[in-house]
């Protein structure tokens, strides 16, 4: 190839690249110019759906375009996530989901998308720590009391969960592993039945969300004996955390976050993040999140991306180490 021809092709490639960059930058600066779809991979009415609609309303008000929530449930949240992972990376199809997105690579044998490669984290909007509850008659009031109780009854203490491979189950697995305990897991089909037998006394403990347990806590039929987070929850300020009880970095809960397709331009991601960061400072936004038993997070895209990578690896490690059977 002659030098002149090589230079012409190089110049043409450079001009093409500059044109693409200019077009992308212009699109990002004007974003959004049409309605934006936020896919929620679960049925309407749950915590993820409620927070997604809060996010959609906030972005609609801030950016002057309609952000509409579309529920595409199925396959443990993976149908909706896959739709976004394979969508055009222009910011007009987004995903609002929960911890299933980082748990799925560990509990599913196969996924038709790669969480880290095909989804771009925008921000973790909120985190709902799980709480460890016992019957209302349990004499203890802290994680230390629970650990003492378990160690004094080796092999005889049970904990229930809403099902094998779910976050409540894995919280108990982590508690056994981290604290050197030997609690027996009893899976149920849903959080309601799992809590009912704790109330009845046939099960000792269960991990659950504050929203699920709130009516029984208020009635005195359940007692919260620990929050699985590094900081006390504002909606349960008198309940100690595992962290402050001496069990460092024991944090398990439900992450709620906003994602875009993997190749979405950073400028568009920044627009979304910056507007949500502003919205998160308003009392209405904060109160809505607190009502769902969650803490406001709204970290930067970089921080959230790092969290996603670490969480995916954490669950893979725990599932493998405890030989928990993967789902098809």
Domains and CATH numbers, the chain: 10-24+34-127+254-321 (3.40.190.150), 131-227 (3.40.190.10)
Q: What does the pLDDT read at residue 21?
A: 47
Q: What string of pLDDT tens digits covers the 328 residues of the chain?
A: 555 555 555 555 555 444 444 444 545 668 999 999 999 999 998 899 999 999 999 999 999 999 999 999 988 899 999 999 999 999 999 999 999 999 999 999 889 999 999 999 999 999 999 999 999 999 999 999 999 999 999 889 999 998 888 899 999 999 999 888 999 999 998 888 999 999 999 999 999 999 889 999 999 999 999 999 888 888 889 999 999 888 887 889 999 999 999 999 999 999 999 999 999 999 999 999 999 999 999 999 999 999 999 999 999 999 999 988 888 7
Which pLDDT score, from 0 to 100, does residue 14 have?
A: 54
Cis amide linkage into residue 230, ω under 30° from 0:
no
Please work out, in degrees rounded to the nearest 5, the angle formed at the alpha carbon of residue 132 by the alpha carbons of 303 and 236: 70
Query: What pLDDT sits at residue 22?
Result: 46
- CB-CB contact of 89 with 259 (8 Å): no
Q: Do the Cβ atoms of 243 and 249 come closer than 8 Å?
A: yes
Residue 243's nearest CA partner among 143, 311, 126, 131 is 143
Q: How long is the chain?
A: 328
Q: What does the pLDDT read at residue 7?
A: 57
Instruction: Give the pTM.
Output: 0.86
> 9-42: string of b/e by CB count within 10 Å (b at 16+)?
eeeeeeeeeeeeeeeeeebbeebbeeebbbbbbb
In this predicted structure, what is the pLDDT of residue 278? 97
């Amino acid at each position: 190839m002659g030098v002149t021809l090589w230079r012409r092709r190089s110049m043409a490639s450079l001009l093409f690249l500059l044109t693409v960059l200019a077009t992308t930058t212009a699109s990002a600066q004007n974003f959004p110019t049409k309605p934006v779809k936020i896919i929620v991979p679960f049925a309407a009415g749950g915590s993820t759906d409620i927070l997604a609609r809060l996010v959609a309303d906030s972005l609609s008000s801030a950016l002057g375009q309609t952000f509409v929530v579309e529920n595409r449930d199925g396959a443990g949240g993976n149908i909706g996530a896959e739709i976004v992972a394979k969508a055009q990376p222009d910011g007009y199809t987004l995903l609002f989901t929960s911890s299933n997105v980082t748990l799925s690579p560990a509990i599913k044998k196969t996924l038709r998308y790669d969480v880290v490669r095909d989804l771009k984290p925008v921000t973790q909007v909120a985190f709902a720590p799980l709480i460890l509850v016992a019957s209302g008659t349990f004499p203890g009031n802290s994680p230390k009391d629970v650990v003492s109780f378990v160690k004094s009854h080796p092999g005889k203490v049970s904990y229930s969960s809403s099902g094998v491979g779910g976050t409540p189950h894995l919280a108990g697995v982590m508690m056994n592993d981290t604290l050197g305990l030997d609690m027996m897991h009893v899976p149920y089909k849903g959080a309601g039945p799992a809590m009912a037998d704790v109330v009845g006394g046939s099960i000792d403990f269960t991990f659950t969300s504050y929203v699920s347990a709130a009516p029984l806590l208020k009635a005195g039929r359940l007692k919260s004996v620990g929050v699985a987070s590094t900081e006390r929850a504002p909606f349960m300020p008198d309940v100690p955390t595992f962290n402050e009880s001496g069990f460092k970095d024991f944090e398990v809960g439900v992450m709620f976050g906003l994602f875009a397709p993997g190749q979405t331009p950073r400028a568009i991601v920044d627009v979304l993040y910056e507007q949500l960061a502003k919205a998160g400072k308003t009392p209405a936004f904060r109160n809505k999140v607190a009502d769902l038993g969650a803490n406001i997070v709204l970290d930067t895209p970089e921080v959230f991306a790092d969290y996603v990578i670490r969480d995916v690896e954490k669950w893979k490690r725990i599932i493998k180490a405890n030989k928990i059977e993967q789902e098809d």
